[in-house]
Structure formats: C-alpha cells, structure tokens
Structure 1
Amino acid sequence: MSTQQEVAEDRPAPVVTLDFVGSRTETEDVTSKLSVESQAALRQFSLERMTGYGVDYADAVEVRARVVEGQDWRSAATELAEVCLRRVESATEVAGTPTRIGYLRRASALLRMSQMMMLCDTAERRQIFARAAELYAQAAALSADRVRVTVKTDHSPLAGWLIPARGTAVASALVIGGVEGWGMDFDSIGEALAARGVDALMLDGPGQGETRLTHNHYLTDHWRDAYGRAVDFLAERSPGRPIGFIGNSMGGSVAMAVAAQDTRIRACVDNGGIHAPWHVPPTMGTFFSKMVAACGTEDPDRAMNVWKTVTPLADGPNAGYPLLVVQGGKDPMVSNDLAQILLRGAPTDDKRMVVFSDGNHCVYNHKHDRDALVADWVRARLCGLPSPEITN
C-alpha cells in the first residue's frame, strides 16, 4: 500500500447530518396536552390533506412532529419554509435551477399552510399569503410552465395562475378550491390537465386566496358575475375552445351552480361539494367561521344569505351539462348520503359518481389517481370522446 493510500484511508470522510425532529406518535394522551389550536390543526390537516395542498411529505411529517413537541402550527411551518429558502440560496446558478424551483414551491406551500388556522384577515395573514404567492411566482419564472393571471371584474380583480397545455391545446378549464385550500393548493389538477392538452386556469374566486387577501374581493351577491368574467377570460383567450369547470370542496358546489347557468361550460366536476352550502351548521366551528370570513363579514346571518345564492341543484339554460361527482367513501365532512342527494338532484341526466371507498375529503389520499380521473374525464367530455373506463 502506498503512503498516499494510507493517508487517504486515515483521513475521515466528511459527514453532513441534516437534523429533523422526525415522526412522532400522535396519541390522544399526547395531543390532549397541546393548545386548542394545535389540536385542531393536527385534526383538520392530516398528512394526506397537507400533501394534497402541495406540502412535501417530509415537510408535512416535520410540521406535525414539531407541533406534537409543543411548537405552534404557524411558527413550525414558517421555520421549515425558511429552511427551504436557505437551500434555494445555496443552489448553483445553472445546475441548481430544478433545485431552486422545488424548494421555492415547498416554501410557498409551507407558508400557505402556516396561515390555515388564522380565521381573521389580519395584516400579518395578508403578508404571509402575499409572500407565499411571490415565492410561487419566482418558481414559475424559473420553470416557465405557468403564468400569473389577473381577471378584471366590475368590482375588484380575481387572481389566478394559468398553466398552459403542453403541446397543442384542445380545450380550457377553470379550477377552484373551496373555503380553505385555494388556487395554488390544487395546482396538481392543473398540471394533470395541461399534460393532456387542456389549458388550466387555477383561480382564486371571490372570498379565496389572493383575490381576497390582496384584492379584498369577497364572496358577495355578485359572485356569479365574477366567475362569468373568468369564463370570459378563457373564451376570449381561445375562441371556440370548449371549457370545463372543476370545483374542489365547497368549490364543487360553486362550479355546479355556475355550470347550469353558463352555456359555455361543457363539462363540470364536483369534488367534495354539497347540495346546500348554507346548511353547514355553526357547530362545525372553524369551518363555519371560515365560511363567514369568506364573505368579508362577521355577521353569520349575512354570510349565510350569500351562501344561499350558491345553488348547485338549480335549473338553468345549461341544464344537461356533463357532470362528474368525485366522492371519498370515508369523507368526514361530506357523507355518502349527502353526495347521493347532490347527484340525484343535479339538473342533468348526463352524470356519474366515482367513489374512492377509503377516500377522505376531496380524496387527498388518492391524489394522483384523482387527478388522472378528473383530467382524463374532462378532456374526453370536452373533446367529444368516449368517457374513459374506470377500473378497480
């Protein structure tokens, strides 16, 4: 053995340890000692739901572990976002572009998750969400696969992200979230649509996301006009192209209500909506409070009067539109019975429901299968093709 080899073997190789709290057991005995907000956050935002909103799996595990250890939800998510941003800064200029894109999107998702338990539109919340949107925009500039969009209305504008179709576009689609979980959070559906030749507008509708927190555009009696302008945007951008509307959670109720009235909507997907949003009781706690906040008021009666105008079962000039209802068989918020009421009452005979037997709300726990199902069905219906076969 040469002297050089001996020296090399004696010199220890560098080892870098990345420290994490790691997964923690979330027993009732442990979580019952946490703050009321921390218990609610852990209960409402499962691993599946967090990853469904774009949070990386490892980040979701770490946020929950830190909260179990006693850290508050907001600071746990924010600190992890800062870790991601430090990794963005350390990435090389050229070879590190994919790395920067990934960490920018992770940081954005973590910041969006950090404000989920904030019920009031405070200056701090607005600042957090604006920063999350800016990081998402920085990633979009690097990836060049989506662009920021502003849709003008008679009131304040709507904010969104357009994910253009790969290759030749054959159709367009509007995608919205619900009371919580907004445009950026459901971008996986937009990406699935774009991969199949469908331009996807990931929109923050009235009372949602940047539209609300940046432009002060809430859910009011004028919400139908606002969505009409979003459909105008797609129709004017690509004249003659068929348009679909996909709504997630309470956004599914909105999508159906719009589809029945607007003859330009050629296909509609409801993923987790209900037939009568105003039936949500105050006993649903934070969710009910968020429904009220979406209307820009603290008056529950005033807010529910607005929600009463969201009528997914109402007839209209576009009755008969193709409808796909996606339902989680284990959805704790929307039971199978409620889903059946919505399906039976929808003003169209061209409808079907797909149930994921163990699916949670919005089927976050089958994200890729859900996205493929929705995107394949939307493309087929918009392009006049046979509906795809669905097999177990």
Structure 2
Amino acid sequence: MVAIPETREFVGRRPETDEALAVLPATSQAALRQFSIERTVGYGVDYADAVELRGRVVDGQDWQQAATDLARTCLSRAESAPAAFVPTRAGYLRRASALLRMSQMMMLSDTRERREIYAGAAHLYNQAAELLGDRRRVSIRTDREPLIGWLFSAARPAGASVVVIGGVEGHAMDFDSLGVAFAARGVDALVLDGPGQGESRFAHHHYLSAQWLDAYRHAIDYLDRRAPGRPIGFAGNSMGGSFAMTVAAADVRISACCDNGGILAPWLVPPSAGAFHSKMLAFCGTDDPEQAMQAWKTVAPGTTGPNAGYPLLIVHGGRDPLVSTEQARLVLDSVPTADKQMVVFTDGEHCIYNHKTDRDVLITDWMTARLTGTARPTTSNPEG
C-alpha cells in the first residue's frame, strides 16, 4: 500500500516591491505598512501565520478576510485535535484568537461587527486559558463600567504584583507575554484592559474619560486586597506608558513603573496623524476631537503627585516611527522622579516588538528586582 503524503498549501512570503504594493487597496497598503511581521508577532500571532497573512494580502486578499480565514484554519485544527492533546488544542485556540484580534485592527470605529470579532477572540483565548489553567479572566468593578483583565499567578509564592497595560491599539491579550514572564519570576501579573481598551471597551463600553484614574485605582485595590501590603508595580506599553507614569505619580501603592513607548503629552498628537488620531477619539467613545482631547489632557505623566519619587524605567526603540529619541529623552528629563533610567534598543521598533524576548526579560527582571529587593539587574543599551 502506497502512502499518500498530506499536503498543506501556503501562499508563503511574497516580494513586497513598490510595484506589488502599489496595486493594492489603500487599506491593504496601510495594514502592511503599520503591522510589520515583528509587530504582528508581538501581538501574539504565530510567525508562520504572520508570514502567510502578509503573503495573502500582497496577493490581493483583504486584510480582514485573510486573517479571519487563517483563524478558521487554526480553530479547525484545535477542534480536530484529540481531547487528550491539551497543549495542541490550547495553542491553536490562542493562534486563532490572535488572528481574529489582528483582523479588526484596521477598523476605526466600534461597530457591531468589530465587537463581535473581539468577543470571539476573547472567547477562544479564555477557552485556552481554561484548558491550561495558566491564567484566568477577571472582572474588576469600578465606579463606572467594569474593567476586564487576565490574572497570571506566580509559579511560586508571589513576592509582588504588577499591572500591565497596552496602548491605543495593542490591548491586554496582545501583551500576555509579559504576564507569562512576570509569573515565571514570582510576580502576580494583572494584564488589564483599561478604559478605552479591549474587552473593557468593546464588551462594556468603558471608554477613556476625565475620571480614568479612578478606574485604575480600583484595579490596584483588587491586587491590594489579594495580598495586603505586597509591593505593586505598573508597566505600560505604547501610550499605556503615559498612563502608567500618571498612575504611579498619583498612587503611593505603586513601588516601581515602566514606560515602554509612552510620550509626555498624548493630547498633542495632531489630527494630521490620521488614523492614529481617529483611534485616539474612538478610545474615548466619541468622534468629537475637543471632547476626546479634554479626556486625553488628564493623562499627564510629567506632573508631580504624592508618589512622585517612584522608580522609573523607560524603554525606547531607536527606530521607533511614532516616538522619537528626542521625545523619549524629554520624558526622561521631565518626569519628577530622580530614580529613573532609560534603555535604548538602537534598532528597536515601537514597543520593541523586534526584540520581544529581550524586551520582556529587561522589563520583568528590572521590575522584579525593584519590587522584591533582589539584586538589581544590569541595564546597558542593547546594540540590537
């Protein structure tokens, strides 16, 4: 009997020449430009899926449809895996979730379709979490709508806790690698969708408002109730770094803070920023620029507060197209704490997606050392 080999078909990598890209729809060109393979992988998409996604889009398929089709393939493999093959099933569920999250990235408004896509991604992610038991979904009450997050419990008795948030585009599930890294170091991590982010926004309509700081206080309350008196840190990615610094200065329970990609005055992002400015408005649940900027003006990482002396680590990419080295240096010089340092990855993209493992090691080692009093890690400027 002759065995017939199984064939799995892939488009694979395609040359992304100016000529090939010029004939694509504007949305496809924008997606390929904004979401490099490194950034896509940084948001949890498997490398092979990221390559295939780009190849299909270069060949003419719509970004959303290509990501959705790949998600369906991963989901089919999860469903066909034997029940005993838990890691296989969970792995494909997480891949499908990441692809669904990527499929809605080019949407600028919170349509019903977008909410349903995100809900589906969260459902698959939660299925994987329940299979492996390595994280759990939590809902935190606030004075407004709830906040949704994922709690990564430490692999050994925890000596500290930390809040991790994303930014205007990448949200909690997209930065789960930091949750995994913190848990491995004995730190409980609440990887959170704050106001304007992820499930808190799409499922519960919790947008950024002038009262956003109170919502984060409730998240800190949650960690404080779990382990009274345990040191708490706050790590923010992209614009989330600006939120993290603002919270750290205002709340004496924050013992250390990391800013990975934040800026000093988010409200100064101009309308000429195009899609990103539109996303900042959607973050506030409005299409009124004045209303949105009034909320964004309350995000003030350079202001003083009762906890202004908190230790601060700034992580910056030398090739960040959104935050220049001058802007990062301005944050370093302007933040009132004297206990601060900046680490620059000379070829780093925004949020250091292209050095994801080293970025996570740097942030979690530094934060763990500061929170638990262990030996302080060396932080030199990586040359990439």
Same topology, TM > 0.5? yes
Superposed CA deviations along residues 337-370 of structure 1, whole A, max 9, x for unmatched, are 0000000001100000000010000000000000
Aligned equivalent of 1:363, options 327, 348, 352: 352
Which residue in the other structure is 1:47 paired with?
37
Aligned equivalent of 1:116, options 97, 101, 105: 105
1:332 aligns to 2:321 (yes or no): yes
| C-alpha separation in 2, matches of 1:108 and 1:289 | 25
Q: CA deviation at 1:41?
A: 0.4
Superposed CA deviations along residues 14-45 of structure 1, whole A, max 9, x for unmatched, are 20010011100111111111111111100000
| C-alpha separation in 2, matches of 1:211 and 1:366 | 28
Aligned equivalent of 1:67, options 50, 57, 70: 57
| C-alpha separation in 1, matches of 2:328 and 2:13 | 35
| C-alpha separation in 1, matches of 2:116 and 2:236 | 26
Which residue in the other structure is 1:267 paired with?
256
Q: CA deviation at 1:168?
A: 1.0
Range 128-137 or range 24-33, more displaced: 24-33
1:205 aligns to 2:183 (yes or no): no
Superposed CA deviations along residues 291-337 of structure 1, whole A, max 9, x for unmatched, are 01000100011111110110000000001100000000110000000
Aligned equivalent of 1:97, options 83, 86, 94: 86
| C-alpha separation in 2, matches of 1:256 and 1:28 | 40
1:38 aligns to 2:28 (yes or no): yes
Superposed CA deviations along residues 66-85 of structure 1, whole A, max 9, x for unmatched, are 11111111010000000001
Which residue in the other structure is 1:25 paired with?
15
| C-alpha separation in 1, matches of 2:77 and 2:173 | 22
1:219 aligns to 2:208 (yes or no): yes
Superposed CA deviations along residues 98-138 of structure 1, whole A, max 9, x for unmatched, are 10010000000000000000111011000000000000000
| C-alpha separation in 2, matches of 1:117 and 1:241 | 40
Which residue in the other structure is 1:143 paired with?
132
| C-alpha separation in 2, matches of 1:34 and 1:105 | 29
| C-alpha separation in 2, matches of 1:308 and 1:28 | 39
| C-alpha separation in 2, matches of 1:319 and 1:135 | 40
Which residue in the other structure is 2:267 paired with?
278
| C-alpha separation in 1, matches of 2:331 and 2:275 | 24
Which residue in the other structure is 1:301 paired with?
290
Which residue in the other structure is 1:3 paired with?
none
Alignment length, in residue pairs? 381
Q: CA deviation at 1:386?
A: 3.6
Which residue in the other structure is 1:170 paired with?
159
Superposed CA deviations along residues 114-168 of structure 1, whole A, max 9, x for unmatched, are 0000111011000000000000000000010101000000110000100101011
Amino acid at match of 1:123: R
Which residue in the other structure is 1:314 paired with?
303
Q: CA deviation at 1:384?
A: 2.0
- SS of 1:194's equivalent in the other structure is helix
| C-alpha separation in 2, matches of 1:154 and 1:352 | 35
| C-alpha separation in 1, matches of 2:338 and 2:210 | 29
| Identity within the alignment, % | 64
- SS of 1:302's equivalent in the other structure is helix
Amino acid at match of 2:8: L
- SS of 2:314's equivalent in the other structure is strand
For structure 1, list consecutive stretches of 5 or more residues without a partner in the other structure.
1-10
Per the normalisation by structure 2, the TM-score is 0.98
Superposed CA deviations along residues 77-100 of structure 1, whole A, max 9, x for unmatched, are 000000001101110111x11100
- SS of 2:250's equivalent in the other structure is coil
Q: CA deviation at 1:284?
A: 1.1
| C-alpha separation in 1, matches of 2:126 and 2:228 | 27
| C-alpha separation in 2, matches of 1:390 and 1:230 | 29
CA RMSD in angstroms comes to 0.7
Amino acid at match of 1:374: I
| C-alpha separation in 1, matches of 2:210 and 2:322 | 25
